[in-house]
Amino acid sequence: MSITNQTISEEIRTRAKELIASGEVAAFLGFTQGNLPMTTRPFVARQPADAEKLVWNSFCVMNLAKYLPELLRSLEPRRGPKDPPPEDPLPKVGVVATGCWSRNIVVQSHENQIQRDRLIVLGVASRGMVSKRRVEDRMQGREILSVEEDEHSLLVQGRGFREEIPRWDVVRDNCRSCINPDPVILDQRIGEPAPARNVKDRYRQVNEVEARTSEERWAWFQNEISNCIRCYACRNACPLCYCPTCFVDDSRPQWVGKGLDPTDTATFHILRAYHCAGRCTDCGACESACPTGIRVRLFTKKLEKDVLEMYGTEAGLHPEMPLPLTTYDANDPQGFIMAGNGPGETGKGRPSADEEVEP
Amino acid sequence: MCASLAYVARLRKDSSEEDGNLVIQMDRTIDESAAWEPKIIAFLCTWCSYAGADLAGVSRFQYPPSIRIVKVPCSSRISANLILDALRAGADGVLVSGCHPGDCHFISGNYYARRRFALLKNLLEFVGIEPGRINFSWVSAAEGERFSQIVREVTERVTKLGPASRLVKKPLPEITAYSTHSGAYQRTLEY
């Protein structure tokens, strides 16, 4: 067992127990061990005894911010549709947060899905989460019965085999290109803070696609989503996807069909990525949740790159700044707008800036 | 798809050729490949672009009849869902046009729209939709001639790209059997 993970797990358990026992929080959101090797599941501890079940390891791949809005709402006193909103103080929730999850908390707080003062955030700096799929690929079809984590390696065991693999080799892509593993907001800190990472080429995967022609990109895109079974696990795991009626559930008008038509699948992925523009923190929950291994986060990564280049902001990094698509600047880039400067019928077209125009 | 008729007149010698009679046979064939014209959905904001298009019409500025205009209150009404819906329906191109920045009838609608469109255009090109399928412009109510230029330019771009095929949602064959489109009905009778 990795010493770091052991220390952090114990610390989380102690603090959660304290918070629940003292009544400061009504519920604590963390992870507990899953049934299968290499899985954890998000877990809500409501009694002090539940806090013993909390764990922390390199397989905590879901984003806890997903569960916060609903959890906070469920803890409010019951009221009918016409009753006035409940008065403060409302029950609080404790949550563990790494860099990307804390940024999602900031985004949700901007979008009024949660109230920051109802949260007690225990900040943990992430060392990068491991992709279960990568470990399974390395074992080439042999069934994995248990995985033990050491500080920098994983010990994978199955029937008739034991292999030790370097941990960093199987860490998820988004964690490898992360520049902010430390939480941006926290109330209590657990473990050592991590400095901002200097990553050489954050958008390498996006740039690789952009280097191709339009036909090649379409072929790549169709191939990437060809395995999609439209289970919507990516949407269900995403903390940004909290719409009561998702656009895929709309029937009048129907934006996306219900079947597996490739056009519908393409529309779903394009629009879902688009709805995350400027809000996605590249937490990787979508890719980790996908049962068929689609690299869903590449589409949102492209949008993240564009937002950074054009508008200079990144989702949730600066709690005081508004989200990019809820604001504007008079000098936003508009090179893509058609100029319409042709000569036209009268031979004149638009007067240039130097010409004098008669009033 | 727009089909144009091409009359092909063929001179054919009849069996009674010895008499020196020539029988002229006129064949009427539907030449679908010639003169295909794109269908472009144009979302125009009511206060500036639609008025500009109206001015183009009143002033008799000619532009290709490829656009189908949808009047919306403001360019910021256009969401990505709508643009993709146009592409799915089979539009060969989309044009979204609003007021110039600073002149929006609703003060800031086009500013928000500008950010949205920039990101959408980049995303669509990233996944392989040809550049030039969706286009954006600012046209004011006084720019009738410029509107016609823009439509001409967009039509040129889209014609060069050819009919749209990448994000088109084709209806199921069972549905076309019951549609009122006689051509489709005739075809399914052959099965």
Which residue reads 């969401």 in tokens?
B79
Contacts of B118 in chain A (CB under 8 A): 306, 310, 332-334, 336
Tell me whether residues B127 and A217 touch, CB distance under 8 A. yes
Reported as a pLDDT band with limits 50, 70 and 90, residue A87 is confident
User: Which residues 6+ apart lie within 8 Å of B116 measured at CB?
Assistant: A325, B76, B78, B79, B80
Edge-to-edge order in the sheet of strand B67-72: A337-338, B134-138, B93-98, B40-45, B67-72
Q: What is the pLDDT of residues A120-141, one digit of tens each?
A: 999 999 999 999 999 999 999 8
DSSP state of B20: T
Tell me whether residues A214 and B129 touch, CB distance under 8 A. yes
Which has the closest alpha carbon to A8: A50, A57, A46? A57
Touching check for B158 and chain A: CB below 8 Å?
A: no
Q: What residue type is assigned to position A198 of the chain?
A: N
pTM over 0.80: yes
Alpha helical stretches, state H, chain B: 49-58, 80-88, 109-126, 144-161, 173-178, 182-188
Beta bridge partners of B24: B11
Tell me whether residues B61 and A345 touch, CB distance under 8 A. yes
ipTM of the complex: 0.90
Contacts of A300 in chain B (CB under 8 A): none
Q: Which of A273, A324, A338 sits opposite B123 (nearest CB)?
A: A273
Reported as a pLDDT band with limits 50, 70 and 90, residue A252 is confident
Q: What is the pLDDT of residues B49-92, one digit of tens each?
A: 999 999 999 999 999 999 999 999 999 999 999 999 999 999 99
Q: What residue type is assigned to position A327 of the chain?
A: T
Touching check for B138 and chain A: CB below 8 Å?
A: yes
Which pLDDT belongs to residue A357?
44
Which pLDDT belongs to residue A318?
85
Q: What distance in Å separates the CA atoms of residue A156 and residue B109, rounded to the nearest whole number?
A: 56
Contact at 8 Å (CB) between A35 and A26? no
Which has the closest alpha carbon to A125: A65, A55, A178? A178
Other CB atoms within a 10 A radius of the CB of residue A287 amount to: 23
Tally the C-alpha atoms within 13 A of residue B36's C-alpha that lie toward its C-beta: 14
Which pLDDT belongs to residue B149?
95
**Among A residues 328-347, those touching chain B with beta carbons less than 8 Å apart:** 328-330, 332-334, 336-338, 340-342, 344-346
Which pLDDT belongs to residue B174?
61
Touching check for B119 and chain A: CB below 8 Å?
A: yes
Q: What distance in Å separates the CA atoms of residue A16 and residue A122, rounded to the nearest whole number?
A: 9
Q: What distance in Å separates the CA atoms of residue B101 and residue B107, rounded to the nearest whole number?
A: 9
Window from A150-164, A275-289, B32-46 with minimum mean pLDDT? B32-46
Contacts of B122 in chain A (CB under 8 A): 302-303, 306
Max Cα distance, chain A (Å):
89
Compute CA B97 distance to the chain's CA centroid, rounded to the nearest angstrom.
Answer: 15
pLDDT per residue as tens, chain B (191 positions): 344 343 434 444 444 444 455 554 444 444 555 678 999 999 999 999 999 999 999 999 999 999 999 999 999 999 999 999 999 999 999 999 999 999 999 999 999 999 999 999 999 999 999 999 999 999 999 999 999 999 999 999 999 999 999 999 987 666 555 555 544 434 433 33
Instruction: Output the six-digit token pair for A234.
Output: 């990516």
Question: DSSP letters along A61-98, please?
Answer: -S-GGGGHHHHHHHTSPP--TTSPPPPSPPPPEEEEE-
Identify the residue among B123, B136, B153 best suited for mutation to test binding to A, counting A beta carbons within 10 A and taking the highest: B123
Touching check for B133 and chain A: CB below 8 Å?
A: no
